[in-house]
Structure 1
Amino acid sequence: MIYVITIAIYLIGLVIIGFFKAKQIKTQSDFSVAGRALTPWVLVGTMLATWMGTGSILGNAGKTYQTGMAGLWLPLGSVLGIIILTQIAGKVRSYNKFTVPEIIGERYGQVARLLSVIALVLAYMVIVSYQYNAGGAVLHTIFTDDSGVSAISVETGTIIAAVFIILYTMLAGLLSVVYTDVANGIIILISFMIAIPIFLVEAGGFDGMQIAFSEMGKPEHMRFFGVYSFIDIINFCLPGFLLIMGDANMYQRFFC
């Protein structure tokens, strides 16, 4: 029951933030880029929550569970992408635009702008859909009883997640999104700060993990090198690198 109450408070809180911030929307700039007036701390919070999403937390965690320490290769491409983005953020902001296609159109013409719009629409149909689906999976898991039966199917949970996300986004655009991101970022950080020490203690530290994996016949789970080939590492890192380099979410934060 505590999980149900917590989730209900969280979802209602998102909508309340949206309603509150909707009163501040006066122009397209307010809706699209939060009036270009976000403080550094708010930007840090929204960029943290923007990237620490379904793929980073659930996807990488699942793969790391399968492969062990070598799973730490997975976020490397994204980290490299973020480092490069810090070098171009100022240039991107100087264009004073609302979207990435606007910049592409200004530099390369309207055909390039149209192609970038099509690419972004297709990409975000996939990206947004799996975020909704992840929300549905979380709700399905939370509402599962001891017998393994859930009161909410993944499909129903996906619809609930989509409705709440679309609602608070429609209310105030990026202005509501960034502040819900800040709340999410705080929750993510606190959760990690609590969970990681507990995991380490329960596992008996790194020595305990090494012993446990050896007893399971999986000593390679404690190896960072030698598990994946160079090609495997490229295959893991390249998608994340390319995604963050072309992620309209990140560029939209630069415009703020």
Structure 2
Amino acid sequence: MNIHLLLLIVYSVALTAAGLWISRLVRGSSDFFVAGRTLTAPLIFSTVLAANIGAGTTVGAAGLAYQQGISAWWWNGSAAIGSLVLAFWIGPRMWRLASEHGFYTAGDFLEFRYNATVRGVVGSFIWVGTLAILAGQLIAGAAVLSVVADLPKPAGVMIGAVVMTVYFVAGGLLTSAWLNVIQLVVLIGGFVIAMPLLYSTVGGSAAFSAMPVPNPGYWDIMYSTGAGMSGWAMLAVLTPAFIISPGLLQKAYGAKDERAVRLGIGLQGGAQMLFAFIPVFFGLAARAAQLEIASPNLVLPTVLATQLPAFIGALALAAVFSAEVSTCDAILFMLSTSLSKDLYKRFV
């Protein structure tokens, strides 16, 4: 068994055990759905940032940077802009209504504002659409295991699904909020340690300056003339999604007050703007190392597994796996609450 796989197994077991231990704090549905509305600004910061930084924003953004260049910054940058709008405009108002009327889900607000039919229709769309998002996250996460352990995609998907399901079912938002702190430490710590070592390994500034680029728009921050997803397209499509995401709104419901919403989500938006440079760096580093990688989903795990010392590479891969699990957990939260509260309990 190689060190990359061993560290991922140890991390997964530790994460699951921590989730089961924290679940002892859950006393009822309020704790499960909205953490008893007790989350402080630091916990709101960590749980929203962990939800926003997933397999798509790490594996996906690095792959896009490898293919298209620095415009991949907008994958995370657009999410950060949407989060700032949520923090200072939508979030505090929604928290106030949720506290006054006992909302647990976005569907509760829709029925309050419109009617039960709107709640049911929107809840159905959310449930079906979120299944597709969950599948995409699990597939991207499985790419990590395919590189480090040569596991087939179905096995990698199953491992990620089991880990995030166990600790989410154990305690809902309350468990997730505390585990997200651990996940962020692993995520940021792993990447921060890996970046300078990778920069040196691939040849430093000389390698980055001399690397061949696949298209003339590679250094265009908006990728305005290239064939693919431009920065403008990501800004238009992704920003609104992070303003009105039901999963993020439900996390805002869990805040102890409006200040926690503004401060926690606002600082998270700023942190994600800075984080947006990290997956772009990894994508450029893969290009500077002149790695020939066929699938964009394999860019990040490949460069971490092959261009770094074994232990550091394993730590960085654990960071990627941590991102995948934390976002899958947030998506599962949307799925479970939408099905149980907005559809089953309301209409069955």
Same fold (TM over 0.5): yes
Corresponding residue for residue 118 of structure 2: 112
Corresponding residue for residue 92 of structure 1: 94
Q: 99-108 vs 2-11, which deviates more?
A: 2-11
Residue 133 of structure 1 is aligned with which of 136, 139, 147? 139
TM-superposed CA distance for 1:210, in Å, is 2.1
Q: TM-score, normalised by structure 2?
A: 0.65
Consecutive unaligned residues in structure 2, runs of 5 or more: 255-348
TM-superposed CA distance for 1:217, in Å, is 7.0
1:226 to 1:28, Cα distance in 2 relative to 1, 3 A:
closer
TM-superposed CA distance for 1:156, in Å, is 1.1
Q: Is the 8 A contact 2:242 2:248 kept in 1?
A: yes
AA at the equivalent of 1:138 = V
Q: Distance in 2 between matches of 1:57 and 1:180?
A: 19
1:123 aligns with 2:122: no
TM-superposed CA distance for 1:221, in Å, is 2.9
Report sequence identity in percent. 23
Q: 200-209 vs 133-142, which deviates more?
A: 200-209
Q: 25-34 vs 177-186, which deviates more?
A: 177-186
C-alpha deviations, 1:145-177, integer Å up to 9, x for none?
Answer: xxxxx2x21111111211121111111111222
1:222 to 1:205, Cα distance in 2 relative to 1, 3 A:
farther
Q: Distance in 1 between matches of 2:186 and 2:230?
A: 33
Q: Is the 8 A contact 1:105 1:113 kept in 2?
A: yes
Instruction: Describe how 1:217-228 pairs up with structure 2 within 5 A.
Output: 220-224=217-221, 227-228=224-225
Corresponding residue for residue 196 of structure 1: 195
Q: 69-78 vs 172-181, which deviates more?
A: 69-78
TM-superposed CA distance for 1:225, in Å, is 5.4
Q: Distance in 2 between matches of 1:115 and 1:226?
A: 37
Provide the alpha-carbon RMSD of the alignment.
2.3
Instruction: Describe how 1:128-207 pairs up with structure 2 within 5 A.
Output: 128-143=134-149, 150=150, 152-206=151-205
Q: Distance in 1 between matches of 2:203 and 2:251?
A: 41
1:55 aligns with 2:56: yes
Corresponding residue for residue 81 of structure 2: 80
1:162 to 1:226, Cα distance in 2 relative to 1, 3 A:
closer
Q: Is the 8 A contact 1:11 1:164 kept in 2?
A: yes
1:113 to 1:218, Cα distance in 2 relative to 1, 3 A:
closer
TM-superposed CA distance for 1:117, in Å, is 0.8
Q: Distance in 2 between matches of 1:226 and 1:167?
A: 41
Q: TM-score, normalised by structure 1?
A: 0.87
TM-superposed CA distance for 1:202, in Å, is 3.8
TM-superposed CA distance for 1:204, in Å, is 4.8
Corresponding residue for residue 147 of structure 1: none
Q: Is the 8 A contact 1:69 1:222 kept in 2?
A: yes
Q: Is the 8 A contact 2:222 2:230 kept in 1?
A: no
C-alpha deviations, 1:21-63, integer Å up to 9, x for none?
Answer: 2211111111111111122222211111100101110111100
SS in 2 for 1:224: coil
Q: Distance in 1 between matches of 2:74 and 2:38?
A: 36
SS in 2 for 1:77: helix
SS in 1 for 2:69: helix
AA at the equivalent of 2:219 = M
